[in-house]
């Protein structure tokens, strides 16, 4: 059992004013460095003394990482842009309603004022065994405490269990994948661009992290192409509380339609596996079909094929099925928009 100290360890704090300076610090200090964006995830780790970096590189002074700008037929969002700024920006609200709603569903107004879009996308797993410092697989041990006969695992995975059953907790990640976003990542060695779908990883790829970010790298911005701008969107988050809570299951979907016929769709569900799940089999099924109850019912059944419940999270299977049905049908208790 971990001992919670609720007091941060000593570290050297750097607050660089430029991206190059930040990347230089990360290259110099390597695995001794911790990157901090809005601090919403970082402070939890630090105050409980589960993470004890020698150096913290805080990005709040780097203006180049902030803001929403029109680029070509799409937009680019700096990773240090707060969730509140994303929610309020007219380009996001007018063209990318699925992201607007996803960001607005995150946490509480106070946290959205401080938390960043990059931080929300890149936060670590919220499994309580892992966050409390238990020596699980994700923390370098040899057991998953959430997948034992006496475990409390109502918030854990129903897909992709591979030693670890923690899930991705992001409210905005499904929207980014649904919008086919591109994640811009920088290090001292240069820049790489990753599809949002490939930015998130499962335990089979790397059990120690939820994203493809490596030591010395920073997510600098997210590029949203115009491909899905103004599409018909659907998003819904189910959580224990309306604010200040992580999703039990959430969904983001984008549809291109002709009349009542679905031409193309991107449908993404989160909090059911380590990475957000794009439901490509569902997308293929609904293409060319009417947006009605029959299509929605079959789509829901396809979505949950292969799901395996743990002792206490079997409710996620019908919940996910129904969220997919509502997204395909449109309306109901979620939020739908034609933007």
**Cα-atom radius of gyration of the chain, to the nearest Å?**
20
Domain span(s) for CATH 3.30.465.10 in the chain: 65-122+168-227
Question: What percent of the chain lies above the pLDDT cut of 70?
Answer: 96
Q: 229-337: which CATH topology?
A: Enolase-like; domain 1 (3.30.390)
Confidence bin at 9 (pLDDT 50/70/90): confident
Instruction: Check pLDDT > 80 for residue 188.
Output: yes
The secondary structure of residue 30, as a DSSP letter, is: G
Per-residue pLDDT at 90: 98
The two structure tokens encoding residue 239: 């959580």
Question: What percent of the chain lies above the pLDDT cut of 90?
Answer: 91
Domain span(s) for CATH 3.30.390.50 in the chain: 229-337
Instruction: Check pLDDT > 60 for residue 333.
Output: no
Could you report the per-residue pLDDT of 201-230, keeping only the tens digit for each? 999 999 999 999 999 999 999 999 999 999
Instruction: Check pLDDT > 70 for residue 339.
Output: no
Number of H helices, E strands in the chain: 13, 13
Which pTM does this prediction carry?
Answer: 0.95
Closest C-alpha to 183, from 150, 152, 151, 211: 211
Q: What is the mean pLDDT of residues 319-328?
A: 98
The two structure tokens encoding residue 279: 């439901």
Domain 65-122+168-227 architecture: 2-Layer Sandwich (3.30)
Confidence bin at 189 (pLDDT 50/70/90): very high
Instruction: Check pLDDT > 60 for residue 163.
Output: yes
In angstroms, rounded to a whole number, what is the distance separating the alpha carbons of residues 30 and 217?
A: 10
Per-residue pLDDT at 48: 79
Q: What is the dihedral of CA 69, 74, 78, 83, to 10 degrees?
A: 90
């Amino acid at each position: 059992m971990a001992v919670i100290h609720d007091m941060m360890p000593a570290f050297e704090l750097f607050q660089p004013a430029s991206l190059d300076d930040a990347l230089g610090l990360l290259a110099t200090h390597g695995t001794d460095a911790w990157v901090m964006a809005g601090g919403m995830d970082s402070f939890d780790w630090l105050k409980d003394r589960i993470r004890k970096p020698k150096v913290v590189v805080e990005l709040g002074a780097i203006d180049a990482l902030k803001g929403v700008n029109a680029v070509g037929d799409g937009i680019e969002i700096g990773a240090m842009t707060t969730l509140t700024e994303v929610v309020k920006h007219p380009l996001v609200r007018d063209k990318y309603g699925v992201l607007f709603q996803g960001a607005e569903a995150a946490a509480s107004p106070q946290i959205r004022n401080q938390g960043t879009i990059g931080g929300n996308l890149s936060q670590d797993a919220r499994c309580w065994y892992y966050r409390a410092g238990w020596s699980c697989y994700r923390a370098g041990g040899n057991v998953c405490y959430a997948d034992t006969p006496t475990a409390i695992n109502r918030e854990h995975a129903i897909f992709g269990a591979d030693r670890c059953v923690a899930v991705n907790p992001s409210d905005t990640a499904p929207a980014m994948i649904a919008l086919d976003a591109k994640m811009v990542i920088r290090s001292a060695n240069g820049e790489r661009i990753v599809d949002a779908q490939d930015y998130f990883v499962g335990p089979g790829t790397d059990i120690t992290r939820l994203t493809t970010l490596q030591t010395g790298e920073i997510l600098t911005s997210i590029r949203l192409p115009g491909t899905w701008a103004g599409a018909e969107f659907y998003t819904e988050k189910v959580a224990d509380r309306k604010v200040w809570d992580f999703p039990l299951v959430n969904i983001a979907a984008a549809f291109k339609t002709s009349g009542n016929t679905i031409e193309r769709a991107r449908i993404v569900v989160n909090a059911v596996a380590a990475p957000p799940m794009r439901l490509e089999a569902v997308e293929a099924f609904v293409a060319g079909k009417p947006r009605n109850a029959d299509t929605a019912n079959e789509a829901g059944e396809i979505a949950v094929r292969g799901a395996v419940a743990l002792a206490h999270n079997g409710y996620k299977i019908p919940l996910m099925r129904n969220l997919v049905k509502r997204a395909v049908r449109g309306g109901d208790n979620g939020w739908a928009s034609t933007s």
